[in-house]
Every structure is written in C-alpha cells, then in structure tokens.
Structure 1
Amino acid sequence: MKLLVAALESELQAFPARLAGFDRLVTGPGKLMAAFGLTRALDARDAGDPYDEIVVVGTAGTVSNDVESGIYDVAAAIQHDVQDLDGVVGRHVSLPARVETGREGVTIATGDIFVDDADATARIRSLGGVLVDMETFAFVWVAQQFGVPIRVLRVVSDRAQDGATQVWDEVVAACSAQLWDFVQREYDL
C-alpha cells in the first residue's frame, strides 16, 4: 500500500476519491501542517505493515529561467525561510540543511510563505533551489524519520514572481489534471 499525499484538496481535484493501492492524505499548507499530518498518518499505520512508498503530489513555483512548465521529481529539499545561530540563511538550528529523496531530480526550496517576488526568488536561487513550495522539506524529513521511501512530484504552477498568487488560483485545476495523468502512467493505474 502506498500513501498519496497533497497539501491541499484542490491539488487532488482531478484524482478519484478512492484509488486502488493508495491511501489518501491531505495535510494542509505549510511545514508544520505537513509534518503533523504525515507524522499522524505514518504513526497510525501498523508498524508491521508500513507503507511501501509515500507519493507526494502538488504544485510549485519555479525560481529558475531554465525550468519550464511540467512535472518534476524532487531529489532534495532545502529551507529558504530559516537561519542558524550564526545568521546563515537556509540553515536551521537543529534540522539538516538538506534532505534527499534518493531519486534523480531537482532541488526544491521550502518555506512558510507563498513566494511571489523577484527578491525572494533571487535569494532562493542563491541557496540552490530551482522550485519553491511550502511543504516538501517537512514531508521528506518525516518520511526519513519513519524509514519510508518518498517520491515528491511537483508540477510548475507559476514563475514565483509578482502576481503568482493570482496565477496559482487560476491554474491549480490544470495542474491537478497533469499530475493525475502522470501518476496513472507511472503507477499503471
């Protein structure tokens, strides 16, 4: 059994409510809600029968001119909205600077803000991120704590520049449809 995870119900709107071989989880947006929701789901699962894989789907903004629209596997996640005791941005005081999924793909920068301005995108690029979201770092870190393999699929919804908030509201349905088509092909559904 796999666990299909999204932050928002709207990101799953094109998916059927029931999907053979998958449990479904919607956590809510942001790192805390993502960590809490996924932890509860994994903790509630019988320890003798853990999930085979966590499959996270959702939207992301791009902060790179080299990243086109489409669906991307995430290889690693960093945090763009933290700093350590020495003031180093992107370094948390107690969490790793980077978490990895074990898959080939892109680096995503996670933070508890919806990025939609040029200054923020430049800062995120300087940290090594090419996509930006609000949950992936937490999802990957929690999966690692439970020893469950994780795959994160993000579809580009916007360019994380001025007006990205309005664009996201308009494109989320199309993004969900792209993700559903991709998941059907990848998992023979």
Structure 2
Amino acid sequence: MKLLVAALASELQAFPAEIDGFDRLVTGPGKLMATYGLTRALDAAVYDEIIVVGTAGAVSDAIATGIHDVSSAIQHDVQDLDGTVGQHVSLPARLETGRAGVTIATGDIFVDDVDAVARITSLGGVLVDMETYAFVWVAQKFGVPIRVVRVVSDRAQDGATQVWDEVVAACSAQLWDFMQREYSL
C-alpha cells in the first residue's frame, strides 16, 4: 500500500476519492501540520512508499512550468546560532529524497516577494513550498521511501497569492494526469 499525501484538499480536487492501492492523507499547510499528520499516519500503518503531490512556487526563471520531482529539500526560514540562514540548530541543512530532480526550499511563509525569492535562490532552491522538508524528514525517520512531486503554481513574486487561488484546480488536474501515467491508474 502507498500513501498519497497533500497539504491541502484543493490540491487533490481532480483526484478520485478512492484510488486502488493508495491511502490518502491531507495534513494541512506548514511544517508542523505536515510533521504531525505524516507522523500519525506512519505510526498507524505500514506503507511501501509515500507520494507527496501539490503545488509549489518557482523562484528561478530557469525552472519550467509543469511537474517536477524533488531531489532535495532545504529550509529557508531557519538560522543557526551563528545566524547562518538555511542552517537549523539541530536538523540537517539538506535532505535528499533519493530521486533525480530539483531542490525545493521549505518555510512557514507563503513566498510572494522579491526579497524572499533572492534569499531562497541564494540557498540553492528553485521551488518553494511550506511542507516538503518536513515530509522528507518524517519519511526518513520511519524508513519509508518518499517521492515528492510538485507542480509550479506561480512565480513566487508579488501577487502570487491571487494567482495560486486561480490555478490550483488546473494544477490538481495536471497532478492527477501525472499520477495516472506514472502509477498506471
């Protein structure tokens, strides 16, 4: 059995309510809700793989629209005791998923301004979200393989919150098409 995970129900709106071979989990937005939700799910059942789907903002002009596998996750909203941004006082600076793909920067803020984009880009992130780092960290603690698939919903610039609201349905449809192809659904 696989576990299909999204932060928001709207990211799964194009998906059927039941998918053979998959349980479904919606955690809520942000690192704490993602950590809590996935930990509870993995504590209650055994899964062969976790597949996280959802939206992400692009912080690099070089990143194409569409769907991207995530290879690594960093945090853009932490700093260590020396004040180094992107370094946590007790967590790894980077987590790897074991897949080829892009680096996503996770933080508990919705990124929609130029200054935040510059900070994230300087850390090596090309996409930004609010949950991936937490999902990967929990999966690794439980020893469950994880695949994170994000679709670009916006360019993480001024006004991104309005754009995201308008495109989430289209993003969900793209993700469902992807899942059908990748998992023969």
Fold equivalence (TM over 0.5): yes
Q: 2:132 aligns with which of 136, 158, 162?
A: 136
Corresponding residue number in structure 2 for 1:44: 44
Q: Tell whether 2:90 aligns with 1:99.
A: no
Corresponding residue number in structure 1 for 2:9: 9
Q: Offset of 1:81 from its aligned partner? A: 0.1
- Could you list the runs of 5+ residues in structure 1 that have no partner in the other structure? none
Corresponding residue number in structure 2 for 1:57: 53
Query: For residues 138-163 of structure 1, what are the alpha-carbon distances to aligned partners after superposition, in whole Å with 9 as ceiling and x for unaligned?
Result: 00000000000000000000000000
Percent identity between the aligned chains?
84
Q: 2:70 aligns with which of 64, 67, 74?
A: 74
Where 1:154 maps in the other structure, the secondary structure is strand
Corresponding residue number in structure 2 for 1:31: 31
Corresponding residue number in structure 2 for 1:19: 19
Where 1:183 maps in the other structure, the secondary structure is helix
Q: Offset of 1:126 from its aligned partner? A: 0.2
Q: Offset of 1:68 from its aligned partner? A: 1.4
- Could you list the runs of 5+ residues in structure 2 that have no partner in the other structure? none
Q: How high is the TM-score relative to the length of structure 1?
A: 0.97
Aligned residues: 185
Query: For residues 8-56 of structure 1, what are the alpha-carbon distances to aligned partners after superposition, in whole Å with 9 as ceiling and x for unaligned?
Result: 00000000000000000000000000000000000011xxxx2110000
Q: 1:151 aligns with which of 139, 147, 167?
A: 147
CA distance in 2, matches of 1:133, 1:87: 22
What amino acid is aligned across from residue 9 of structure 1 in structure 2? A
What amino acid is aligned across from residue 83 of structure 2 in structure 1? G
Q: How high is the TM-score relative to the length of structure 2?
A: 1.00
Query: For residues 89-128 of structure 1, what are the alpha-carbon distances to aligned partners after superposition, in whole Å with 9 as ceiling and x for unaligned?
Result: 0000011000010000000000000000011001000000
CA distance in 2, matches of 1:187, 1:79: 29
Q: 2:112 aligns with which of 109, 116, 121?
A: 116
Where 1:72 maps in the other structure, the secondary structure is strand
Where 2:74 maps in the other structure, the secondary structure is strand
Q: Tell whether 2:156 aligns with 1:160.
A: yes
CA distance in 1, matches of 2:73, 2:162: 25
